[in-house]
Amino acid sequence: MRQIEYKNRIFYIFDDTYLPSDDTFLLLDNLEVNRGDFVLDLGTGCGILGIIAAKNANKVILTDISPIAVNCAKKNVELNKLTDMIEIRTGNLFDPIRNDEKYDLILFNPPYLPISGNNKQNEWLERAWDGGETGREIIDKFLIQFNNYLKRKGRVQMIQTSLSDYEKTIDFLKARDFSVKIKARKKFFFEELVLLTVQK
């Protein structure tokens, strides 16, 4: 188990739980949570995004497919004394979300790395970055479903990378009349990370 600090809060990172990295901090450093928002953090990992979002939010729901990550997030929610305003659920993408739940803000740092079938290990940690052959397997499922869970003027903040063709995501959303902006970006020699802000 490891320990990190962000904005004077302590977070434990369990073994086999994704260690917050450049993608996490690109989103964390540019969070746009309005006072009173109902927030959904999909694929929460250690829970850091949802916990930081809770500063302004009215209620936050954290989800993750990994039971190890869910336990890690629970530990961090308790550590940061936020059990009264954060709820944690286990499941894949929107499976744990009720059909009548609508959010002001959805946060998503998806598995986006292209991983060939021969390299799949199916371990919980690897699911945090395994985006399938093109890197878009989870992203495309999200794009088809997310609008069902947004309020009328709801927003999405999501991480994407050039490795999984973020331009394709932008084109998909604009074709469906969403406003899409690149809020922030970080370039590496092998990829470019972008933070997309999406609004109805």
Torsion of CA 172, 173, 175, 180, to 10 degrees: -130
Options 3.30.1330.60, 3.30.930.10, 3.40.50.150, 2.60.120.10; CATH for 2-199 is: 3.40.50.150
pLDDT tens digits along 94-114 = 999 999 999 999 999 987 665
Instruction: Tell me the whole-structure pTM to 2 decimals.
Output: 0.93
Contacts of 100 (CB under 8 A, 6+ apart): none
| Domain locations in the chain as residue ranges | 2-199
pLDDT tens digits along 101-149 = 999 999 999 876 657 665 555 575 566 555 567 768 889 999 999 999 9
Contacts of 171 (CB under 8 A, 6+ apart): none
Axis crossing angle, helix 166-175 with helix 137-145, rounded to the nearest 10: 20
